[in-house]
Amino acid sequence: MGSRMMHFAIAQQVKPKDLNFIYGSLAPDVSGRNRQFKVLTHFMSPNTDGVTYTIHPEWFANKYRNLLTQDAFVQGYYAHLRADEIWLQTVFNPLIRPQLKLNRESKLKQYYADFHTLNLMIAKRYQLSMPALPTKGNTKTVVNEIRKGDLTGVIQDLRDDFVPLQERSLVMLTMPEIEKYISTCSTEIQADLSQL
C-alpha cells in the first residue's frame, strides 16, 4: 500500500492545509506491519488464495456514515483506505506482485527501500513540509479501530520521513508511477467526497 508520504501528498491535493483531514489520512497506518491490527484498521478481508487481502472502504463508509459527511478526520481516514485500494489495483498487483515470484524477500526489501528513497522526492515535488499535527496530549479519535495514543507513533514516523537518507536509485518503483498514482487518487477521492 502507499507510503505515509504518498498519503500526505494525496491529502494535500484533496484538502490543502486541513490538518484534521491530513491527520485522518495517516491514521490507518498506526498498525505498522502488525497484520492482525492492519486488517482491522484497513477494513480488510482475506481473499480466497489465503495470501492476499481486499480493502473495503465501503465498510468504513457504512460504519461511519453519519460522521463521514461532517468530520474531516473521518474523511481523511476514508481517503487513506481509498488510496490504498487504488494502490493495490494500479501499482502493487499489476507492477510489483509479478516481480515477487522470484527472490521475494530481496524484492520486498528493495520495494520498501524505494518508499524511503521516494519520501524526499515526493516532498520536493509536491512542496510538502511537516504539518503541525497534534502531539501526545491530543490524539483522541472518533474512529473506534484506533486506540487512544496510537496516533503519536504515526506522526513521529511522518517526521522521520522528512529526514534525508543516503541517496540510492529507485529499483522497484519510478517517480512517474508515483505521480500518476497520486493524481489518480486525488481525482477519485475528491469525486467520492463530493458525492457525500
pLDDT tens-digit readout, 96-118: 888 888 888 899 899 999 999 99
CA angle (160, 165, 13) in 5-degree steps: 55
What pLDDT score was predicted for residue 60?
Answer: 97
Q: Using a cut of 0.95, tell me whether the model's pTM lies above it.
A: no
Long-range contacts of 60-69 (CB under 8 A, 24+ apart): 64/142, 64/143, 67/142, 68/196, 69/196
Domain that holds residue 119: 4-194
Q: How many domains does the chain have?
A: 1
For residue 161, the tally of other CB atoms under 10 A from its CB is: 21
* Segment among 8-22, 29-43, 104-118 with least mean pLDDT: 29-43
**Cα separation, 5 vs 178, whole angstroms:** 11
**Cα separation, 8 vs 3, whole angstroms:** 9
